[in-house]
Structure 1
Amino acid sequence: MDKHLKETRIDGEIAYNGGFLKVHRDTVSLPDGKRTKREYIRHPGAVVIIPVLDDGKILLERQYRYPNDRVFIELPAGKIDPGEDPLACAIRELEEETGYTASEWKFVSTIHNAIAYSDEHLDIYLARGLTAGAAKLDDGEFIETITATVDEMLDWVRSGKITDVKTVIGAFWLDKLRSGDWKLD
């Protein structure tokens, strides 16, 4: 059905092979038969957690992100390890980054955050029934946890205080769930 839009790989190579990311450079045939190059990043996928405390506030993180040289406000998230179940990853990442565990987990959605240059996808989970504990940060990882209401998050999105795409989408999901416009299965 979408043949008039599909590009077909002819050949390719690894342009860069790093410890975490691999950049591919492929030659593709366009729908009109012409050839061109496509460079893209292969990513193992990640999870995003929307941790809702018993008082309705959302557990967030403040973390410095080197490529943008600033601290971002984000929902907890992390890379899926090879062969790891996404929910198991979410459970692990929430505890590692924040120290919290959750008794209730719901799948929210899958998003593709960089479709022009990466195959990365993020599976979003809602976590409730939170219990505080000690964080188990990776070596070299520095995270500060904060809390905010959904309204504060939406204000921070509007004002530009929150710009991280996964967190912006999480705030919008929370608003829709709170209003009853959207429901989770």
Structure 2
Amino acid sequence: MRDHHLIEEKLSSEEMFKGHLLHAFCDKVTLPDGSVAIREYIRHPGAVMIVPLLEDQFGQFRVVLERQFRYPVGRVMIEFPAGKLDPGESTLACAQRELLEETGYSAIEWARAGVLHPVISYSTEFIDIFFARGLSLGPRQLDQGEFLDVFSATPDDLMQWCRDGQVTDAKTLTAALWLQNVLSGAWTLPWKKITATDID
């Protein structure tokens, strides 16, 4: 597919703000028809989200979820574990770190499902989606100032919460779509046993 009739070309870029998390820019661009426009956006280092699967002796699955207050929207949200990449960190290493820190779980097997771009209109952020299974529970290692509840639910519970509006977080809604298709057998995952050397 040829997209030249849609592409915008950067003419100049100005840094507007640099904080602990947000790095905002204002660019001047040439539009496909030759006119000029302004694009304000945020550069983001990227993040990961993990769909942790707990399987019982009968082969039934539950998923590990979190409840966390999100200040910008002023409410407690139901989410899958997730977190921002540290400088130089691989997405797999980040996924393992965030799962352990936030939930206390470690996983034997991992699968990268895909990637999502949660806010394409004003951010470069991407979120790599990982599934984890073969979980074992240890102590959490929450960051200072981080407060969240960890709980498990059935996939049916999660889908109901998505339907009735209890779950509105975009990444968790996307993960629910992946989960539904994986559990139905419609989509497959490239599962791999992960050792410590695999994530260095």
Do both proteins adopt the same fold according to a TM-score greater than 0.5, normalized to the shorter chain? Answer: yes
Distance across 2 between alignment mates of 1:44 and 1:63: 22
Distance across 2 between alignment mates of 1:116 and 1:173: 23
Give the Å deviation of 1:54. 2.0
The one-letter code matched in structure 2 to 1:106 is A
Moved more, 38-47 or 48-57: 48-57
Verify: 1:134 aligned to 2:139, yes or no.
Answer: yes
Distance across 1 between alignment mates of 2:189 and 2:108: 16
Q: CA RMSD in A?
A: 0.7
Distance across 1 between alignment mates of 2:125 and 2:141: 25
Deviations 1:32-67 (A, max 9, x none): 000010000000000000000123100000000000
Q: With the length of structure 2 as denominator, give the TM-score of the two structures.
A: 0.91
- For 1:90, the equivalent position in structure 2 comes to 95
The one-letter code matched in structure 2 to 1:12 is S
Deviations 1:93-152 (A, max 9, x none): 000000100000000010001000001000000000000111100000001001111111
Distance across 2 between alignment mates of 1:175 and 1:110: 16
Give the Å deviation of 1:74. 0.2
Distance across 1 between alignment mates of 2:102 and 2:184: 29
- For 2:172, the equivalent position in structure 1 comes to 167
Verify: 1:60 aligned to 2:61, yes or no.
Answer: no
- For 2:193, the equivalent position in structure 1 comes to none
SS of structure 2 residue aligned to 1:169: helix
Distance across 2 between alignment mates of 1:162 and 1:171: 10
Percent identity at matched positions?
51
- For 2:127, the equivalent position in structure 1 comes to 122
Choose from 109, 112, 121 the match for 2:114. Answer: 109
Deviating beyond 4 angstroms after TM superposition, the runs of 4 or more aligned structure 1 residues are: none
Distance across 2 between alignment mates of 1:143 and 1:133: 16
SS of structure 1 residue aligned to 2:54: coil
Deviations 1:123-182 (A, max 9, x none): 000000000111100000001001111111000000001111111111111111111111
Residue ranges of structure 1 left out of the alignment (5+ in a row): none
Q: With the length of structure 1 as denominator, give the TM-score of the two structures.
A: 0.98
